[in-house]
Amino acid sequence: MRILIVALSLFGFLILSARPLVVVIDAGHGGKNKGVVYNAIEEKDLTLELAQKIAFFIRKHSNIKVFMTRTTDKNVSMNQRIKFINQMKPDIFLSIHFNAQILLKSNRGFEIYYPADHLERSPQEIFANYDRINRSFKYGALFKKRYFKTNLTTMWKLPLNLFKAHRNLKLLNESKHPGLLLEIAYLTNPDDRSCIENPKFVNDVAWYILSALKQIKIQ
């Protein structure tokens, strides 16, 4: 009898621990909010194309549950994005963006932003955010590790930056779930642009992101 109970509780544990990872993919900008515009390239189109490819790969090649903040060319406000994330309660959300640096066109490469500790907040708020920020950092480190391990053919492996929020990233500050903002490449850099224009680029980056998501173990 005891063995049966142990076996049943182990079975129950396996069922519980096998719940799929839940992910929200947030395609930055949309509609009138074009994001960075460089020559004829608009950031809102790049983020949507990549977000859709990531969701497609997730559904086809994993049991991860995926939700998207937008699937068409429409403007979604920052508050709507935050509300959506808080409703879906993902294990992680990924906000997809492309970068620009008009004054320093030599800036290039992939960057990861994660929520900053706001030490000026009250001890209660810091405590409430501790787990979310800690997990975001852990997932950011995992994305960084995968970036160097994955066989990306359309991106150069440049030293990667893992940033705290250097800018006022409302999405990272106000969402209640772990998340990362991925700046995929610089539209203002000619080398990055030639990566982006490679027809294999979207597949390549989406595949890398799926491989990083698959590494996440949920407790």
Please give the residue ranges that form the binding site for Zn ion (CB under 5 A): 28, 35, 97
The nearest distance, CB 186 to Zn ion, in angstroms, is: 11
Shortest separation between residue 3's beta carbon and Zn ion, angstroms:
57
Residue with smaller CB distance to Zn ion, 64 or 205: 205
Least gap, CB of 77 to Zn ion (angstroms): 14
Q: How many other C-beta atoms are found inside a 10 Å radius of the C-beta of residue 162? A: 15
CB of 67 to Zn ion, least distance (A): 20
Tokens read off for 90: 């993902």
Sheet of 22-27, strand order: 65-68, 22-27, 92-99, 179-186, 111-114, 161-164
99 vs 136, which CB is nearer to Zn ion? 99
Residue with tokens 């642009």: 193
Query: Which residue's Cβ has the minimum distance to Zn ion?
Result: 97
Q: Find the length of the chain.
A: 219
**Residue among 97 and 146 whose Cβ is closer to Zn ion:** 97
Q: Which is nearer to Zn ion, 91 or 183 (CB)?
A: 183
Q: How many CB atoms lie within 10 A of CB 182?
A: 23
